[in-house]
Amino acid sequence: MPMELTDLAERAGEWLSGTGPESDIVISCRIRLARNLRGFTFLTRASDEEKKLLEQSISGRLAEIDFGKKTTYLPLHETDMLERLFLVERHLISKELAAAESPRGVMLGDNESLAIMVNEEDHLRIQAMRSGLELSALWNEINGYDQAIERKLDYAFSSQFGYLTSCPTNVGTGMRVSVMMHLPVLVMTKQIEKVFQAMNKIGLAVRGLYGERTRGLGDFYQISNQVTLGKDEETIVHDLAEVIPKVMEYERKWRESLLKENRAQLEDAVYRAQGLLSAARVISSEETMNLLSSIRMGVNLGLITGIPIAKVNELFIQTQPAHLQIIEGRALQPEERDQLRARFIRQRLDLKAD
Amino acid sequence: MPMELTDLAERAGEWLSGTGPESDIVISCRIRLARNLRGFTFLTRASDEEKKLLEQSISGRLAEIDFGKKTTYLPLHETDMLERLFLVERHLISKELAAAESPRGVMLGDNESLAIMVNEEDHLRIQAMRSGLELSALWNEINGYDQAIERKLDYAFSSQFGYLTSCPTNVGTGMRVSVMMHLPVLVMTKQIEKVFQAMNKIGLAVRGLYGERTRGLGDFYQISNQVTLGKDEETIVHDLAEVIPKVMEYERKWRESLLKENRAQLEDAVYRAQGLLSAARVISSEETMNLLSSIRMGVNLGLITGIPIAKVNELFIQTQPAHLQIIEGRALQPEERDQLRARFIRQRLDLKAD
């Protein structure tokens, strides 16, 4: 295993630090750009030989670029599945890139604020992430990376369609902007469905911490644009930047009203989660996320003191299966993992066992 | 409210003391005899006038009898519903007697070892209860009470059918013997269905702590004879006394095997229950029973120390709705009750709140 991964496991990316604006509700924001090279076959049709060539030449060019921060390139075809799942859990590569077999890789920027996937669905997928809600600053940042890359690599671009992508749903800006929100009280008060409906109406998608399948786990909702064509980047960013505060206010309004009118129910959820996490001897990843969500809510509402929010944010990631195994330094059977997870959480949250 | 009830709420009957034989698994055993008076209409057909007459004369006669212990007679038509539900929760009267409206009552023996219902389905329902598994001793005890009553009151008895009862299912001995067992590990390992099937095959019924509807709540199973005719009392007692130890051994076998092969699962259940009971701010009666069951198992397996089993046994009863209200001294709305219950359990089990 590359030394870097074992290191990473014990730290968290900046995007989990809980230091950005509105980070009681907005965990992080992320922008990714899909780019392809002019004159090269799209990956859906490329031969293994072409993929190999693409991976080598792209990674070579990326290495020449000064991104203003320390970067490391990981050839993923040389890593094992556990390492790749670890990167998926950290949101540094996609599940698809982890599962693929052909030559491919990822360039990681220091502090996990930048990840450039090579040979995913498109030749390049450039991603920038940061803590809290800071979409315009993030757009400026990733736009800078994109321009730096464009100086070294010739992008497939049509004056009519914009950036050309492997899948037509990404054509145009090739951009997806997404905001990861923690909405425990909207879930508890059953208001969350209204958020979904409102988002759908204005063409935004709602996913979970790890995509569609995990929607709602840990009360996390990732809100992102669906349309990449017919709007420029600034407009896409601006539209999302207008909507997110409304969802935040909705969550805050319900928090206040619940604190006022049904404090016992809130306290019950928070303290039960704390009680269970200090008591459990066996715990699944799914249950962990749901209990950590109540802990996170408790910290934000002032019902729990002495636990930094960054620690709770990190635990959502560190208690995932691949993370536990990387931290423990060996492969673990699921039952063993569930026991280790229970112990790990107690230690990290400094909870006394009953 | 009669002074006696408020007193009772804070103490528990002997049958909950956890001192009898096999009381890690057998909570208590109980025998009841259905009796009717010769020359009086069965209650299903009696007029209110006759019921009044019956209640007065029976209670008068009972008062003359020396049962070898202090007794108190409660005319139930003079009590309110909350008080009657309280007695139901303590297993001193039946739900039917609580819900009825005509003149009726119950004579309670000191320590709750004896309860004689007047004007339930039959003119008299004599009940004796004690902690643990001691069926023959209990039979001798209740047989003594029965004979003492028979010296004062003329029972309806047929040389062909035995004791005549209001419902034909009780004719003959008029006897129901029941044993309350706590079988948490047979539930956890999903073996309990086999117990039901075996019991049904040999004509025994399985109910819950408060009858059929509550079967399984708190992992309590009340096993009793169905047949009252064609077997004498000693045989009924003997048959049950033969079967119960087999169920006990089954539970013990699975406890040992789980301790050996899946200790983490057992510990997890026990410590989670402890964690939840120390953390909850709102808790239903049903959840309480299920968590207390794990606590009880934990104490019996040595995983929890410092909590006397009698205290856990008592809590199953004291956390029931009517008990909480009698202890608090006022009527409580369900939500208020669920909050009070959470606090009450923490205090009684001396659990620190998170």
Do A99 and A183 share a domain, yes or no? yes
The answer as to whether B354 is a domain residue is no
The answer as to whether A236 is a domain residue is yes
B37 near B58, Cβ under 8 Å? yes
pLDDT at position A4: 64
Residue B147: pLDDT band (50, 70, 90) is very high
Cβ-nearest to B275 among A267, A268, A279: A279
> DSSP string of A202-220?
TTEEEEBTTBGGGTTGGGE
Do B195 and B322 share a domain, yes or no? no
Name all contacts of B94-101 with Cβ < 8 Å and 24+ positions apart.
B94/B120, B94/B125, B95/B210, B95/B211, B96/B120, B96/B121, B100/B76, B101/B77
A interface with B, Cβ–Cβ below 8 Å:
264-265, 267-268, 271-276, 278-283, 335, 339, 342, 353-354
Q: How far, in whole angstroms, is CA B136 from its chain's centroid? A: 18
Q: What is the pLDDT of residues B275-285, one digit of tens each?
A: 999 999 999 99
Within 8 A of B280 by CB-CB distance, chain A residues are: 268, 271-272, 275
The mean per-residue pLDDT over the stretch B127-151 comes to: 97
Q: What is the mean pLDDT of chain A?
A: 94
Residue in A258, A270, A271, A345 to test binding to B, most B beta-carbons within 10 Å = A271
> For position A216, which CATH number holds?
3.30.590.10
The answer as to whether B289 is a domain residue is yes
The answer as to whether A354 is a domain residue is no
Boundary of a domain, candidates A223, A238, A255: A255
A282/B265 touch (CB, cutoff 8 Å), yes or no: yes
Q: What is the pLDDT of residues A182-223, one digit of tens each?
A: 999 999 999 999 999 999 999 999 999 888 888 889 999 999
Residue B4: pLDDT band (50, 70, 90) is low
> DSSP string of A293-336?
HHHHHHHHTTSS-S--HHHHHHHHHHTSHHHHHHHHTS---HHH
The answer as to whether A202 is a domain residue is yes
Over its C-alpha atoms, chain A yields an Rg (Å, rounded) of 21
pLDDT at position B354: 53
Report strand pairing: A114-118 vs A157-158.
unpaired
Q: What is the pLDDT of residues A151-167, one digit of tens each?
A: 999 999 999 999 999 99
B264/A278 touch (CB, cutoff 8 Å), yes or no: no
Domain count for chain B, please give it.
Answer: 2
How many CA atoms lie within 13 Å of A52's alpha carbon, on the beta-carbon side? 4
B268 near A339, Cβ under 8 Å? no
Cβ-nearest to A281 among B264, B276, B353: B264
A268/B282 touch (CB, cutoff 8 Å), yes or no: yes
B279/A275 touch (CB, cutoff 8 Å), yes or no: yes
Within 8 A of B265 by CB-CB distance, chain A residues are: 282
Cβ-nearest to A272 among B267, B279, B335: B279
Do B229 and B333 share a domain, yes or no? no
Is residue B78 predicted with pLDDT exceeding 90? yes
Do A95 and A235 share a domain, yes or no? yes
Do B250 and B269 share a domain, yes or no? no
Distance CA B82, CA B190 (A): 37
The tokens of A297 are what?
Answer: 């809510």
Q: Residue B267's closest chain A neighbor by CA?
A: A281
Do B244 and B294 share a domain, yes or no? no
B281/A275 touch (CB, cutoff 8 Å), yes or no: no
Distance from CA of A182 to the nearest CA of B (A): 23
Distance CA A54, CA A123 (A): 8
The answer as to whether A78 is a domain residue is yes
* Cβ pairs A/B, distance under 8 A: 61
The mean per-residue pLDDT over the stretch B77-106 comes to: 95
Residue in A261, A270, A272, A349 to test binding to B, most B beta-carbons within 10 Å = A272
Within 8 A of A274 by CB-CB distance, chain B residues are: 279, 354
Q: What is the pLDDT of residues B159-215, one digit of tens each?
A: 999 999 999 999 999 999 999 999 999 999 999 999 999 999 999 999 998 888 888
Distance CA B299, CA B308 (A): 8
ipTM of the complex in this document? 0.85
pLDDT at position B81: 93
Query: Percent of chain A at pLDDT above 90?
Result: 88
Residue A350: pLDDT band (50, 70, 90) is confident
Distance from CA of A351 to the nearest CA of B (A): 10
Is residue A353 predicted with pLDDT exceeding 70? no
Which residue type is seen at B257? S
How far from B267 is each of A354, B168, B259, CA to CA, in Å?
A: 11, 48, 9
More confident residue, A265 or A215: A265
Is residue B48 predicted with pLDDT exceeding 60? yes
Q: What is the pLDDT of residues B241-251, one digit of tens each?
A: 999 999 999 99
Boundary of a domain, candidates B238, B255, B272: B255
Boundary of a domain, candidates A255, A286, A319: A255
pTM of the model: 0.89
- Token pair 């009680």 is found at A275
A276/B275 touch (CB, cutoff 8 Å), yes or no: yes
Residue B107, beta-bridge partner list = B73, B116
The answer as to whether A45 is a domain residue is yes
Distance from CA of B225 to the nearest CA of A (A): 40
Do B201 and B276 share a domain, yes or no? no
All residues at 6 or more sequence positions from A259 whose CB lies less than 8 Å from its CB, including other chains: A266, A301
Distance from CA of A285 to the nearest CA of B (A): 15
A278/B354 touch (CB, cutoff 8 Å), yes or no: yes
Q: How many CB atoms lie within 10 A of CB A315?
A: 26
Q: What is the mean pLDDT of chain B?
A: 94
Residue in A259, A267, A274, A299 to test binding to B, most B beta-carbons within 10 Å = A267
Q: What are phi and psi of B206, to 5 degrees?
A: -120, 120
Residue A25: pLDDT band (50, 70, 90) is very high
A209 near A316, Cβ under 8 Å? yes
The mean per-residue pLDDT over the stretch A141-150 comes to: 98
A282/B268 touch (CB, cutoff 8 Å), yes or no: yes
Within 8 A of B274 by CB-CB distance, chain A residues are: 279, 354
Q: What is the pLDDT of residues B208-242, one digit of tens each?
A: 988 888 888 999 999 999 998 989 999 999 999 99
Report strand pairing: A114-118 vs A124-131.
antiparallel
Q: What is the longest distance spanned by two Cα atoms in chain A?
A: 66
Per DSSP, helices labelled H in chain A are 3-10, 48-64, 81-89, 95-99, 135-150, 184-188, 192-201, 233-261, 263-279, 285-300, 309-318, 321-328, 334-348
All residues at 6 or more sequence positions from A141 whose CB lies less than 8 Å from its CB, including other chains: A113, A128, A130
Do B99 and B127 share a domain, yes or no? yes
The answer as to whether A65 is a domain residue is yes
All residues at 6 or more sequence positions from A170 whose CB lies less than 8 Å from its CB, including other chains: A34, A122, A163, A176, A228
Q: Residue A304's closest chain B neighbor by CA?
A: B354
Q: Residue B336's closest chain A neighbor by CA?
A: A264
Determine the structural domain holding residue A302 and report its residue range. 263-349
Distance CA B290, CA B315 (A): 12
Q: What is the pLDDT of residues A289-314, one digit of tens each?
A: 999 999 999 999 999 999 999 999 99
> DSSP string of A82-103?
HHHHHHHHTTSS-HHHHH--SS
Distance from CA of B334 to the nearest CA of A (A): 14
Distance from CA of B218 to the nearest CA of A (A): 19
Would you say how long chain A is, in residues?
354
pLDDT at position B12: 79
Do B246 and B138 share a domain, yes or no? yes
Closest CA to A10 of A96, A68, A65, A86: A86
Residue B350: pLDDT band (50, 70, 90) is confident
Residue B9: pLDDT band (50, 70, 90) is confident
Do A299 and A153 share a domain, yes or no? no
Do B140 and B277 share a domain, yes or no? no
Do A146 and A270 share a domain, yes or no? no
The mean per-residue pLDDT over the stretch A91-95 comes to: 95
